[in-house]
Amino acid sequence: MRVLLIEDDATLGRALQEFLTSQGYAVDWLAEGRRALLAIKNYTYDLVVLDLNLPDVDGLEVLHSFRLEGRYVPVLVLTARDALADRVAGLDAGADDYLSKPFELDELAARVRAFARRHLGTVVPIVEFGSLRFDTVHREIRVAGELLTVSVREMSVLEMLLSRADKVVTKQQITQALSAMDADFSENAVEVYIYRLRKRLEGLGVAIKTIRGFGYMLQLEV
């Protein structure tokens, strides 16, 4: 899942970018509202995490602007404005959720996971397919109770395949979901992660099938 983080505080912004990246998301971090509006026009995001107190344009104006343009990417507002009137204004401007500062990282992670489940088309915290059991809360994949050790990027790719099991996931979809502005992530890199996952899934009753010219599909082995 690709996330746009809009936060003007350098220390907090860097920390949140590192934290969300460690959770398996591709994160672009910007500190100004005008740059954020350009990014939203030029890139496709699955979630915007938006601070309201920005140095150039108020966060509510940013939100209102891209909603008027018909951009319906989900928005999680982070702000020190915790009065009821501020929360109502944020939600009325088009925010999907609201988290007041200061907040715990665990709560932020839980709310982002909820958006991720909606993005992947599932509302349940556990996704099962064949012998695989993916816990979206604890970010763990188990096979017959045993933990399957994978990297953060491998887990993100496998999560996309699991959420669309028996359906094609294109290289472009994977690349877009895992790429950040400053990251060198290509379709060739996707092939590397698919190769690694195939090795890890050998003998587990599930396989990643290449659909030539389209992408990949997770299937049960017959």
Q: What is the pLDDT of residues 31-43, one digit of tens each?
A: 999 999 999 988 8
| Chain center to CA of 8 | 21
State the Cα–Cα distance between residues 50 and 130, nearest whole angstrom: 38
The pLDDT value given to residue 139: 83
pLDDT band at residue 200 using 50, 70 and 90 as cut-offs: very high
Average pLDDT over residues 43-48: 90
DSSP 127-138: EEETTEEEETTT
Per-residue pLDDT reduced to its tens digit, 78-133: 888 777 777 787 788 888 898 888 899 999 999 998 888 777 666 567 888 999 99
Say which amino acid occupies 92.
Answer: D
**Strand, coil or helix: what is 145?**
coil
Residue that the structure tokens 């088309």 belong to? 121
Q: For residue 30, what pLDDT is reported?
A: 95
pLDDT tens digits, one per residue of 125-173? 788 899 999 988 788 899 988 899 998 889 889 988 998 899 999 988 8
The secondary structure element, H or E, covering residue 215 is strand 215-220
Write down the pLDDT at residue 182: 57
What is the model's pLDDT at position 129? 92
pTM over 0.75: no
pLDDT on residue 84: 77
**Tokens standing for residue 73:** 């990417």
pLDDT value of residue 79: 82
pLDDT value of position 166:
93
**Cβ-contact 161, 208 below 8 angstroms:** yes
The whole-number pLDDT of residue 12 equals: 94
Segment 9-14 shows an average pLDDT of 94
Please, are residues 134 and 125 in contact by the beta-carbon 8 Å criterion?
no
Phi-psi region of 28 (alpha: psi -120 to 50; beta: other; left: phi over 0): beta
DSSP type of residue 67: H
Q: State both tokens at 178.
A: 């895992």
Question: Mean pLDDT throughout 196-216?
Answer: 92
CB 46, CB 173: distance < 8 Å: no
